[in-house]
Structure 1
Amino acid sequence: MRGLHYRPDKVESSLLPECWKPIALQPADGWCDDPRDSRYNRPVKLPFDPSHENLWREDDVYDLIVPLGYNDAPVVPGLGSAIFFHVARPGYEPTAGCVAVTRAHFLEILARTRPGDRMRIEAH
């Protein structure tokens, strides 16, 4: 778990554990998911021509984001990018490889973890 990013217009920073040193997202924040670009699987500023995720979304999914450290040390183009722990869509719609829970559960998990902790994902 690499760090915590949050939407300051939607999440009160006082709800977030100080140990995470929360980083406020800005409307120009994105994440490169173009394996042909040297910034693949890295944060970028928008506008950005190569393929990317917009981290400032209209829905609530990216109101709280923790990059999970997948494929980032080193980055291997095409192995996967933008793998986050984030807020689930209503009805727990599937993600594209991320881990998503309700906002309440996200905050509960955040309170029990620290930057650098590892998330273990098991299939049942």
Structure 2
Amino acid sequence: MKASDLVVTPSHLRFMNRKFPCSIGKGGISGRKAEGDGATPRGTHRLVGMLYRPDRMAQPTDWALPIHLGDLWSDDPTHEDYNLMVRAPYIYGHEKLCRADPLYDLVILTDWNWPYPVKGRGSAIFIHRWRKPGHPTEGCIGLRAADLAWIAPRIRYSTRLVVL
């Protein structure tokens, strides 16, 4: 592992020789991630994108893409757009990216089950803001808003997410 990797354990994330408290999935860390298990998948994952709310914050990097009203993430394993960003109207299972709460104001996308998703392995694993300290996610990695804002502009093409 390199100092430029985001290294996740059940209680914290290490990055650039700093340690940040984090939340993981309510199903813990698993080597057998499955749809709906609430687990954070163990392994080394690439970071493949970043999304942000331009109405709530400045662009954190020049490669971050804005989230707009109507942007959704398909989490319906029966549909061909499963585990992809889609637009409303969309009648299949999905999550709103443009939320009333600040959970997805800044989202780092990983390559978990992407770009060729396998049905049943679970949809996207994001790095996003946590609800509150110690509150588990549905499988994503949650961080304090200030920590996420510090990390985001320091991510490079070679940065990986390593879940131990």
Give the TM-score normalised by structure 2.
0.68
Q: Does 1:2 align with 2:2?
A: no
Q: Does 1:48 align with 2:76?
A: no
Q: Does 1:77 align with 2:119?
A: yes
Aligned length: 118
**Alignment-mate amino acid for residue 98 of structure 1:** C
Greater helix proportion: 1
For residue 49 of structure 2, give the secondary structure of its aligned residue in structure 1: coil
Structure with the greater relative contact order (CA < 8 A, sep ≥ 6): 1 or 2? 2
Distance 2:134 2:73 in 1: 23
Deviation at residue 37 of structure 1 after TM alignment = 0.2
Partner of 1:39: 81
RMSD of aligned alpha carbons: 1.4
Distance 1:115 1:83 in 2: 18
Unaligned runs of 5+ in 1: none
Cα distance change on mapping 1:51 and 1:71 into 2, 3 Å: same
For residue 2 of structure 1, give the secondary structure of its aligned residue in structure 2: strand
Q: Does 1:90 align with 2:136?
A: no
**Alignment-mate amino acid for residue 55 of structure 2:** D
Deviation at residue 116 of structure 1 after TM alignment = 5.2
For residue 119 of structure 2, give the secondary structure of its aligned residue in structure 1: coil
Deviation at residue 79 of structure 1 after TM alignment = 0.7
Greater strand proportion: 2
For residue 90 of structure 1, give the secondary structure of its aligned residue in structure 2: coil
Unaligned runs of 5+ in 2: 1-46
Distance 1:92 1:56 in 2: 24
Identity level (%): 35
Deviation at residue 3 of structure 1 after TM alignment = 1.1
Q: Highest Rg: 1 or 2?
A: 2
For residue 109 of structure 1, give the secondary structure of its aligned residue in structure 2: helix
Q: Does the 8 Å CA contact 2:113/2:124 hold for their aligned counterparts?
A: no
Cα-to-partner distance string for 1:67-109 (whole Å, 9 max, x where unaligned):
1110014210121112101111123421111011011111222
